[in-house]
Structure 1
Amino acid sequence: MFTRRSLAVAAAAVPLAAPRVLAQTRYPLPSVTLVTHSSPGGGSDVFLRELIKHLTPVMGVSFAVENVRGGSGATAVARVARAQPNGGMVYATTPTYIQTTLLSRPEFGYDSLNPLSIVFLDPQLIYTRVQSPFQTLAEAMDAARASPGRQRWGAANPASLERIALERLNRLVGARAAVVPHEGGGDLMINVLNGTLDLGIGEIQEINAQDEAGRIRLLGVLTESRLETTPSLATAREQGIDLVVTKFRGLAGPKGMADEIAELWAGALRTVLDSPAYRAVYAKESLVPTPLLLPRAAAREFTTRVATETASSLRELGVVR
């Protein structure tokens, strides 16, 4: 299994494609729509809007982000699955599109799309509003154990990786907190800030602005080791909670998209990941680039493996049979 640490090593060791390779082949269309199930300001929305700033000059096309909400991501997946496989529409993948498929079995699931690339691994953090009495994740869990069923925790949409992570957290600590799903990270943040929720979970892109404004407090990170950008923030494991979560960010297109188009995406992504301007952005957000997973074949293999592991986790939680 590819881990956050192994991919970080690979990112430093594997040379990325030179920009001149891209310049020799023109993208087949002048514009591309990037579809996400995320609401404006949510993790995938922020990911796409920052990425296209750097992709536009490399690929020579015009990009537009389309936020398609509903169905825990199923509506957005269906939108892309029905599109022409000509490179004009691409979906921003996260574990949500796999989990939605396994939980609700929509007409168009994750396997209705063809992965193009896995771009980043994305650390998940648990946070609360700054007025909260909790200074650490361990303190919040102690309070949850002392009053089972009293706390309210917020996650993104019902089938998200974050939702499953909080359900696992409930089991690990015996909290029985109510896990409240939302349509996106922006909605979730509002309810943490107004005190409706005791805790929220999300990635740095979603919560960074509120963290820098001093309106939230980070309680713990669900990674194997501490983040370089927040070295004082303890992992859940360091706080006595054996919970590690790996979230990915990638791209997928309709089935039937030509390999030549997929190769153009892989080359462009290698170029922008190696650019100093974009490297400064994703390093600040603790995103781990995944050069080994940019080619389509590797992205397919990774997606299949994650789907298998996710199905196993859902069965352990008693969510699916």
Structure 2
Amino acid sequence: MFRILRSVAALAGAGAIAAASLAGPAAAADYPTRPITMIVPFAPGGSTDLVARLVAAKMGDALKQQVIVENRGGAGGNLGATAAAKADPDGYTILMATVATHALNPALYKKLPYDAEKDFAPISLLVNVPNVLTVNPNFPAKTVQELIDLAKKDPGKYAYASSGNGSPLHLSGELFKKLAGVDLIHIPYKGSGPALVDVIAGQVPIQFDNLPSSVEHIKAGRLRALGVTTKDRVASLPDVPAIGETLKGYETYSWNALFAPAGTPPEIIAKLHDAGVSAVNDPTVKAKLAESSAVVVGSTPEELAAHVKSELAKWAPIVKDSGAQID
């Protein structure tokens, strides 16, 4: 009798497995049948939120389901990233990630509640957002080389502002210091806005900032741009050189990429990828992104996976050298 029951149980289990295996592709074929949540791991109003809302609307059109942006800010992006990592891998929760969540935080935090590679399925690197090195218009340096010369002449005399300890902009400054061999004092602020106010007022002479935050101040003459942090010059400020033109090997930028929880079926990843890439290449979206100096990429999932690996390797030693660490 026991053997019969065990055989029945085994057959039932096999049937359940078979049914699940059939349901998976079927579910993927029908996907999506309800709204999708796109988690933004930062507060509303920032550059990541801007990109997410532009992309979500167009992805919804392509997928014929609403893509709802949900802001879950906190802990430098960790709260939102963790929520996405722990979500069901069914394609109904995705993450608009950044260089912070997937390259800096793994080096900054002693205990990170997610693994930037193992806990996520890459979808697409959507856009790169340049940073910029600016100075108060009264500051004597008019070029990157003049700034380096001044800093070398008087080590520790000059300070630069950033949006906070461990932020991409703080670490952009640390990479600059390392490659230029200069000593600049870091002044962390609670966001780019307060830092901008003090640099424009002359309280701090130098700043590393996201270009979208600073570009109008640069065009109005309230700030002088010495260089953009990307490898090449940007279309919105064609006369401003890339820092790498003077400082060989220098390149930093912020980026936004889509991820799903690890284990999301490949067929669903493919649909999300196509919708995301189509969204950033929509003429209206592309024009709005260009206004914010964001550069469209639209990578494959494999290219995004390789990008994360290279970014982790790049930023880990920079974070270590900066001494920034968060418990």
> What is the TM-score with the length of structure 1 in the denominator?
0.77
CA deviation map 1:276-299 (0-9, x unaligned): 2122233444433334x23x3332
Q: Determine if contact 2:82/2:114 at 8 Å carries over to the other structure.
A: yes
- Distance, in Å, in 1 between the alignment partners of 2:163 and 2:108 is 15
Read off the aligned partner of 1:57 and give its amino acid letter.
Answer: D
Q: Determine if contact 2:38/2:96 at 8 Å carries over to the other structure.
A: no
SS for the counterpart of 1:215 is coil
Identity level (%): 21
Q: 2:108: which partner in 1?
A: 103
Matched, 1:162 2:166: no
CA deviation map 1:107-146 (0-9, x unaligned): 2242333322111233221123445444333333333333
Q: Determine if contact 2:31/2:268 at 8 Å carries over to the other structure.
A: no
Read off the aligned partner of 1:80 and give its amino acid letter.
Answer: A
Show the 5 A alignment for 1:35-114.
35-37=40-42, 39-97=43-101, 98-105=103-110, 106-111=112-117, 112-114=119-121
- Distance, in Å, in 2 between the alignment partners of 1:305 and 1:241 is 18
Q: Determine if contact 2:39/2:93 at 8 Å carries over to the other structure.
A: yes
Q: Determine if contact 2:55/2:280 at 8 Å carries over to the other structure.
A: no
Q: 2:25: which partner in 1?
A: none
1:62/1:250 CA distance change after superposition, 3 Å: same
Matched, 1:270 2:277: yes
Q: 1:193: which partner in 2?
A: 200
Give how far 1:250 is off: 0.6
- Distance, in Å, in 2 between the alignment partners of 1:53 and 1:129 is 38
Give how far 1:255 is off: 2.5
Read off the aligned partner of 1:60 and give its amino acid letter.
Answer: K
Q: 1:118: which partner in 2?
A: 125
* Structure 1: segments with no counterpart, 5+ residues: 1-23
> What is the TM-score with the length of structure 2 in the denominator?
0.75
RMSD between aligned residues: 3.1
Read off the aligned partner of 2:52 and give its amino acid letter.
Answer: L
Q: 2:179: which partner in 1?
A: 172
Show the 5 A alignment for 1:142-157.
142-157=149-164
Q: Determine if contact 1:224/1:235 at 8 Å carries over to the other structure.
A: yes
SS for the counterpart of 2:95 is strand
Structure number with greater Rg is 2
SS for the counterpart of 2:91 is coil
- Distance, in Å, in 2 between the alignment partners of 1:60 and 1:216 is 44
Show the 5 A alignment for 1:117-136.
117-130=124-137, 132-136=139-143
Q: 1:258: which partner in 2?
A: 265
